[in-house]
């Protein structure tokens, strides 16, 4: 049976980066992936330009049952380290917004970078190799792919979460965790659009494609200020994707469609200068015309002139526009979600090495772990940082193994 120092399951962001680092530390590394190509999610990411990190990465941008877990890895391999690597490869990039760094040209450049780093580390990458089974035997872990077996004493699970099965997502990582008696926290789709109940969806149908800057608040008080997008299925856009990670079924979200406007002051001022102006035309100065028309057809915008608007109607209007309570029907689920919340319980892992406490030589990195970032490059940064921490540990472990082999 072929034997490797390290076997990594998953040629995604975390798996490739870990493989490259471990390979460059002179370990004999094998990466296995079920797909035809490495880094399939990277290629699709950031609209094809890969939002590879965020300049403002900090632990508060991550959801996890243990908020402290991600700190060590993020501090040891930071966004600046990855930016430095991107610069060394001469990949042109730009900040889009809120510290989000994207390639100017193509996400393929990040994949090429990772593959080149793997080549430098003499990593073996086997694609179209779906891992079906893992066993721990005396000689180490035996990994089975479509009938073939390989073995190692260091197994890294970087098989990602459940989002986007079309891009190779599978529950293998959770299955391996379960097999070795590790706790798994419930998973759910995150960074995902909301679907709406039929009556509201029908009412908002004409707005499909309209985007507006908004402030969206979850029940727990978490707030995001970015665009929302009306779609033919419900609501999307960065503010909605962000809040979806904090949303539980049955909860309302509150949307302020005019977060930067003193609406009462604006209506009073307009009333003074144009008392006969209709409400519709007044609001069209602040909001997209289609949205104003929709509000009117829903009866949320009385067909009145400003001077006819009484204080109670004004109050209702302000509530509608600045404190719109929406009850999502659900989310679009893993089919379109960017990430998976939950996963391998961080209490099972060392935050320094990503190794499990229960099973020596078994590591989990990247999205399969219960660490989920906000939208904006944070998830790739977690992939790089957790992979780097793991690779350092693998290199250190191998030194010990080599040393003990020599000694015996």
Ligand X SMILES: Cc1cc2nc3c(=O)[nH]c(=O)nc-3n(C[C@H](O)[C@H](O)[C@H](O)COP(=O)(O)OP(=O)(O)OC[C@H]3O[C@@H](n4cnc5c(N)ncnc54)[C@H](O)[C@@H]3O)c2cc1C
Question: Interface with ligand X by CB under 6 A: which residues?
Answer: 9-15, 32-35, 40-41, 44-46, 50-51, 130-131, 158-160, 163-164, 168-170, 172, 338-339, 366-367, 377-380, 383
Q: Indicate the residue among 48 and 275 with the shorter CB distance to ligand X.
A: 48
Give the nearer residue to ligand X in terms of CB position, either 7 or 317: 7
> Position of tokens 């590790």?
182
**By C-beta, is 73 or 279 nearer to ligand X?**
73
Q: How far is the CB of 394 from ligand X (least distance, A)?
A: 16
The least distance separating ligand X from the CB of residue 365, rounded to whole angstroms, comes to 7
To the nearest whole angstrom, how small is the minimum distance from the Cβ of residue 386 to ligand X?
Answer: 8
- Smaller CB separation from ligand X, 236 or 256: 236
Closest CA to 156 of 344, 406, 332: 344
φ and ψ of 122, to 5 deg = 55, 40
The closest of 269, 278, 270, 267 to 304, measured between CA atoms, is 278
Tokens representing residue 190 in the block: 């995150």
Closer CB to ligand X, residue 176 or residue 207?
A: 176
First to last CA, the chain: 23
Spatial neighbors of 216 by CB under 8 A, at least 6 apart, are 223, 224, 225, 228, 239, 240, 242, 243, 253, 254, 255, 256
Q: How far is CA 385 from CA 79, 160, 223, 323, 381, in A?
A: 8, 15, 26, 39, 6
Q: Smallest gap, in angstroms, from Cβ of residue 218 to ligand X?
A: 21
Query: Which tokens belong to 375?
Result: 């939208």
Q: Is the dihedral of CA 98, 103, 105, 107 positive or negative?
A: negative
- Do 149 and 142 form a contact (C-beta atoms < 8 A)? yes
Q: CA 159 to CA 18: how far, in whole Å?
A: 12
Residue closer to ligand X, measured from CB, 21 or 45: 45
Distance CA 72, CA 130 (A): 32
Q: Closest separation between CB of residue 321 and ligand X, Å? A: 31
Of 49 and 283, CB closest to ligand X = 49
Nearest-approach distance from CB 23 to ligand X, in angstroms: 16
Which residue's beta carbon is nearest to the bound ligand X? 12
| C-beta of residue 50 within 8 angstroms of C-beta of residue 380 | yes
Distant-in-sequence, close-in-space partners of 85: CB < 8 Å, separation ≥ 6: 113
Query: 71: burial class by Cβ within 10 Å (0-12, 13-18, 19+)?
Result: middle
Contacts of 396 by beta carbon, 8 Å cutoff, 6+ apart: none
Between 247 and 364, name the residue whose CB sits nearer to ligand X: 364
Residue with Cβ nearer ligand X (342 or 377): 377
Residue 352 Cβ, how far from ligand X at the closest point, in Å?
Answer: 19
Smaller CB distance to ligand X: residue 103 or 301?
103
What is the C-alpha separation between 86 and 103, in angstroms, rounded?
9
Beta bridge partners of 161: none
In the complex, minimum distance from the CB of residue 157 to ligand X, in angstroms, rounded to a whole number:
9
Minimum distance of ligand X from residue 187's CB (angstroms):
13
Handedness of CA 303, 306, 307, 313 (dihedral sign): positive
Instruction: Give the shortest CB-215-to-ligand X separation in angstroms.
Output: 23
């Amino acid at each position: 049976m072929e034997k490797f120092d390290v076997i990594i399951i998953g040629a995604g962001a975390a798996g490739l980066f870990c493989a490259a680092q471990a390979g460059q530390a002179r370990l004999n590394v094998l990466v296995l992936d079920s797909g035809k190509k490495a880094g399939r999610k990277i290629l699709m990411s950031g609209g094809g330009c890969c939002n590879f990190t965020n300049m403002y990465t900090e632990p508060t941008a991550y959801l996890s049952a243990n908020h402290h877990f991600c700190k060590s890895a993020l501090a040891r391999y930071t966004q600046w380290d990855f930016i430095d690597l991107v610069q060394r490869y001469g990949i042109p990039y730009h900040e889009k917004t809120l510290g989000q760094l994207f390639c100017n040209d193509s996400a393929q450049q990040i994949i090429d970078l990772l593959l080149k780093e793997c080549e430098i580390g003499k990593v073996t990458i086997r694609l179209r190799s779906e891992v079906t089974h893992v066993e721990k035997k005396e000689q180490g872990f035996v990994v089975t792919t479509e009938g073939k077996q390989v073995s190692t004493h260091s197994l890294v699970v970087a098989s990602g979460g459940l989002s986007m099965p079309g891009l190779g997502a599978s529950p293998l990582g959770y299955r391996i965790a379960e097999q070795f008696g590790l706790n798994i926290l419930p998973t759910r789709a995150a960074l995902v659009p909301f679907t709406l109940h039929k009556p509201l969806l029908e009412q908002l149908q004409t707005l499909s494609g309209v985007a507006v800057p908004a402030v969206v608040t979850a029940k727990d008080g978490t707030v995001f200020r970015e665009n929302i997008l009306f779609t033919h299925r419900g609501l999307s856009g960065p503010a909605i994707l962000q809040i979806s990670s904090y949303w539980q079924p049955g909860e309302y979200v509150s949307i302020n469609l005019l977060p930067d406007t003193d609406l009462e002051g604006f209506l009073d001022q307009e009333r003074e200068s144009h008392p006969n102006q209709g409400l519709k035309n007044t609001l069209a100065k602040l909001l997209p015309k289609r949205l104003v028309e929709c509000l009117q057809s829903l009866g949320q915008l009385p067909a009145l002139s400003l001077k006819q608007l009484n204080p109670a109607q004004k109050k209702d209007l302000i509530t509608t526009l600045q404190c719109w309570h929406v009850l999502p029907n659900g989310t679009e689920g893993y089919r379109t979600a960017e990430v998976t919340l939950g996963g391998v319980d961080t209490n099972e892992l060392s935050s320094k090495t990503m190794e499990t406490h229960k099973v020596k030589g078994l590591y989990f990195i990247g999205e399969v772990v219960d660490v989920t970032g906000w939208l904006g490059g944070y998830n790739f940064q977690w992939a790089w940082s957790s992979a780097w921490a793991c690779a350092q540990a693998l290199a250190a472990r191998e030194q010990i193994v080599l040393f003990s082999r020599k000694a015996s």
